[in-house]
Structure 1
Amino acid sequence: MSDQAQTTAEGETPQPTYKRVMLKISGEALMGDQGFGLNPPTVERIAREVKTVHDMGVEICMVIGGGNIFRGLQGSAQGMERTTADYMGMLATVMNALAMQSALEGIGVYTRVISAIPMDQVCEPYIRRRAVRHLEKKRVCIFAAGTGNPYFTTDTAATLRANEMACEAIFKGTKVDGVYDKDPVKNDDAVRYDTVSYDDVLAKRLGVMDASAIALARDNNLPIIVFSLDEPGGFRGILDGQGTYTRVGG
């Protein structure tokens, strides 16, 4: 652990709040200020945030959206057949996963990209027991290509994989420091929740994740931690029991 960690009276550093987590980020988080595609400095910054948590001994899974490259719903809305559009979106997530793998391994973090759509030349196929073994060996596992099926979002894929990997929480990295009753960017009087139930997220349409993902998390009592990915040290801080965030359910 880093110098930021406080030692106990026995001279030992405290254990992180969670031992195995899923980090879900959008594809848009990787494009920085350029408005599309991948911004290498932004990818590297997020990789360093992941490394600070990995250095604590936390086992990390990741799912990255593909909206910075292609979004299936938008393609469908423009006349493209929905199944084809969704598969194109899944391929975009593989590109983002490979970019994050390159950034992580560039700073010394062993990483595996695991795709729900087999493409053996660039990544591993999804086999649950193999993925669990990677985590046990302290490799970061980036799950790509969603669930491998159209009509499912990467939010649902992240929740599914988090349950399969026995993660203790999903960390949803966003541009704001939690869940608000209304858009805090547009409303100065928006109020942040410290905690909120799964049912309230669904009933009030708070936009944390899509309804399928929230329902799957609720059915398995899997907490969702919503925090700002733009806050330096925010991911690490929550694992240290600090920081500002909203806890959904759990």
Structure 2
Amino acid sequence: MDEPLVLPVGQKVRFLVTAADVIHSWWVPAFAVKRDAIPGFINEAWTKIERPGIYRGQCAELCGKDHGFMPIVVDARTPEDFEVWLSEKKQEAERIKKLTEEDWDMDKLMKLGKTTYEKICAACHQVGGEGMPPVFPALKGADMTVKADGLKDHVDIVMNGKKGSAMQAFANQLNEAELAAVITYERNAWGNNTGQLVTPKQILDYKKTGELKPDDSAKPAANQQQAALEKQASL
């Protein structure tokens, strides 16, 4: 879990448990709840938390290399505090939604992309994009991240993952701005310098249509454009 699960006390809570990649097991001993999380299936469980506080658990299934880094944290709050938290989350969701309406340039996308990449992607593909072949391929200098006609495939694999590999789908894990930024970062970091960028609006359209449409409002930074032109001229 990227964030603690926040729940109200004194109310019966229903858990719907599934997984996006491999089999996990959601386990919080204090709730007497342990349910397998299986891709393609939804399991359910119930609990009622009596006292506010922090409750901890873990994945109880040997799910892979990151099994030891999957803590479960449940933040149980009074109904009043829960409503305050819920209101704040709704405001945050509205703010994220408005990101698709902003003007984005290369500098803004690269800054957010670097933060997102180092948080989400660097554990497998390394901070410098070298990867750990053959399990985790390099992104630095890869055809998909340096060739112009690789952009559609690049977007698709970040959004939908790759079957039969450790690459998971991030379409529902990251917001549109983070997705656009990390793809842009991977295409322009470590000397890739394609000059290509993807905007949150393009990601939103892609989710709706499955097509990567141009966004004329995008504004590549001058230094990135120049680098791309110099690279093309040298080919």
Q: Using structure 2 for the length normalisation, give the TM-score.
A: 0.27
Higher RCO, 1 or 2 (CA under 8 Å, sep at least 6)? 1
Which is higher, the Rg of structure 1 or of structure 2? 2
Q: Using structure 1 for the length normalisation, give the TM-score.
A: 0.26
Task: Name the one with the larger helix percent.
Answer: 2
